[in-house]
Amino acid sequence: MAALRRIGLLGGTFDPIHVGHLDVARAAQRELGLTAIHVLPSNVPPHRPQPIASAYHRFAMSAIAVANAAGWRVSDLELRMPPPSYTANTLRHYHERGYAPGELFFLIGVDAFKDIQHWHDYPAVLDAARFVVVSRPGFVTGTKSTPSPLHQRAVFIQAETADVSSSAIRRARAEGRSIAGMVPPGVQQHIEQHGLYLPMPPDRRISARRDPIAADRLHGQN
């Protein structure tokens, strides 16, 4: 008999990954008995500004964040797929690898889920996996903040998740404030070691626009 597979898929730009992202996945794993969590950094998000950190750094930070979590791993699937990074295409890839929609649990914060009607291939994408919507600070599941017709097509979990965002972390770095507690310690070390999210001198901003690969080398990427 084949082993039961209940795979949680946590997608996002992860620019950077933070404790709120991890709280969402842990809440879903705890409530639904997920057997594995796949963290999927996106390449080019269709509904958000382009990432500040390179794909290299975002993948590395995600790998550091989940290194000690049993059954968790980071996948470069979306980083290898042609942009933009559509969830529908990601789920289709899992289907091609033999996963049934009922085995896939797409994890998302309620703040992002409220805009799902604007996603690519909506509403068909809702049939490609079980969507698991977890509450986030300022957004409570089961209220007018979520589209009511969708309540029968998703699992809603009320849980405490850290009040933090990637934009707040980038802002703190730009203003010279500590990000301790906002990201896992290893991720904080990576950010500080490579000087991520600090204001770039004017001459380097020009260089980065002309040569993105050289811009990565400025942060120690090879």
Q: Is 204 within the bounds of a domain?
A: no
Q: Is 24 within the bounds of a domain?
A: yes
Tell me which DSSP letter residue 180 carries: B
Give the model's pLDDT for residue 217.
42
Average pLDDT value for the chain: 86
Q: Is 83 within the bounds of a domain?
A: yes
pTM of the model: 0.84
- Write the CATH number for 78: 3.40.50.620
Contacts of 208 by beta carbon, 8 Å cutoff, 6+ apart: 200, 214, 215, 218
* Paired strand residues for 154: 131
For 123, other C-beta atoms within 10 Å of its C-beta total 12
Domain that holds residue 124: 7-164
Least confident of 12-21, 47-56, 118-127, 136-145: 136-145
Q: Is 40 within the bounds of a domain?
A: yes
Q: Is 42 within the bounds of a domain?
A: yes
Q: Is 217 within the bounds of a domain?
A: no
**Spatial distance between the Cα atoms of 210 and 215, rounded to a whole number of angstroms:** 9
Q: Is 99 within the bounds of a domain?
A: yes
Q: Is 203 within the bounds of a domain?
A: no
Residue 221 in this model has a pLDDT that exceeds 70: no
pLDDT confidence band for 44 (50 / 70 / 90) = confident
Identify whether the C-beta of residue 162 lies closer than 8 Å to the C-beta of residue 136: no
**Spatial distance between the Cα atoms of 14 and 19, rounded to a whole number of angstroms:** 11
How many domains would you assign to the chain?
1
For 125, other C-beta atoms within 10 Å of its C-beta total 20
